[in-house]
Amino acid sequence: MNTLSGMGKLDRERITSILRETQHTISVTEAAKILDLPREHAAKLLARWATNGWLARIKRGVYIPVPLESTTADIPLEDPWIIAERLYHPCYIGAWSAAEHWGLTEQIFRTVVVLTSKKPRGHHPTIRGTHFWLCTISEKTMFGLKSVWHGQIKILVSDPTRTILDFLVDPKLGGGMRSVVDMLKEYLKSEHKNLKLLIDYASRLQNSAVFKRLGFLLEQYTPDELNIISECKKHITISKVKIDPQLDTDNKLITRWRLWVPKNWKA
């Protein structure tokens, strides 16, 4: 029987068994268990298959299969969200990646934002041409999430309200406060709008900066939301924060919100 790219019958049988039992990614641990081999043996086997072009390495000890029709092992990720779930669990897809998913923005963001309770060595890995931004959070703050299915893989995504909350915690997760404002305005006119839930989420985080930013922005864009604005005022503290920590120049203090905003911002 002819071999395929140097792969003999035993190798073909082994890789077929692994692909049958795994989904999208293959780890050394999984391969060792499936093939009933010592871990060291399985690691060498996967590395050899990667060298021969049958697998592509995405992380130390983790591989993805190369489609049979591919002429090169240098392949892009078919579904970055699945890779994020497999590599960084427990985690969720959030920030601007979630905003795109929920239709809160028409901007195209080329980096996938992943909020994870893991502490990765690097926060901006590039895997097979896909850029990721990894943000470490406490596992107890992983609430306000929805499950979406990509094939047979369940992936957690921040719901629209939690997505807005994360922007108010850290505006750079939305590309800066001006982009955040655009997404907030889209949220306020969408079916996703739920300001009472947003207040509840913010209360669970116990983050006064969120209430200062939210209260100020609601005054600007939905001044009729008097009850919610009043609720925001109940949670502010005496400390002063910037509406966007990345905006350092020409700020003025909005005293009622203890909030520094750019001088050219709407008064």
Identity of the residue numbered 119:
K
What is the distance between the alpha carbons of residues 190 and 167, in angstroms, rounded to a whole number? 17
Q: What are phi and psi of 133, to 5 degrees?
A: -120, 115
Convert the pLDDT of each residue in 13-36 to its tens digit.
998 999 889 888 999 999 999 999
- Please give the full DSSP string across 45-92, using - where no structure is assigned: HHHHHHHTTSEEEEETTEEEEPPTT-S-S----S-HHHHHHHHH-SEE
Is residue 169 over pLDDT 70?
yes
Label residue 38 exposed, middle or buried (CB < 10 Å: 0-12, 13-18, 19+). exposed
What is the distance between the alpha carbons of residues 100 and 182, in angstroms, rounded to a whole number? 13
What is the bridge-based pairing of β-strands 55-59 and 62-65?
antiparallel
Convert the pLDDT of each residue in 121-154 to its tens digit.
889 999 999 999 999 999 999 999 999 998 888 9
Supply 143's token pair.
């609430």
Where is pLDDT greater, at 25 or 74? 25
Distance of CA 33 to the CA centre of its chain: 30
Model confidence band, residue 81 (pLDDT cutoffs 50, 70, 90): very high
Q: For the chain, what is the mean pLDDT?
A: 91
Is residue 3 over pLDDT 50?
no
Position 172 scores a pLDDT of 95
* Structural domains of the chain sorted by starting position, each given as residue range(s) with its CATH number in brackets: 11-65 (1.10.10.10), 80-262 (no CATH)
Convert the pLDDT of each residue in 86-133 to its tens digit.
999 999 999 999 999 999 999 988 999 999 999 988 899 999 999 999
0.85 exceeded by the pTM?
A: yes
What is the distance between the alpha carbons of residues 254 and 114, in angstroms, rounded to a whole number? 33
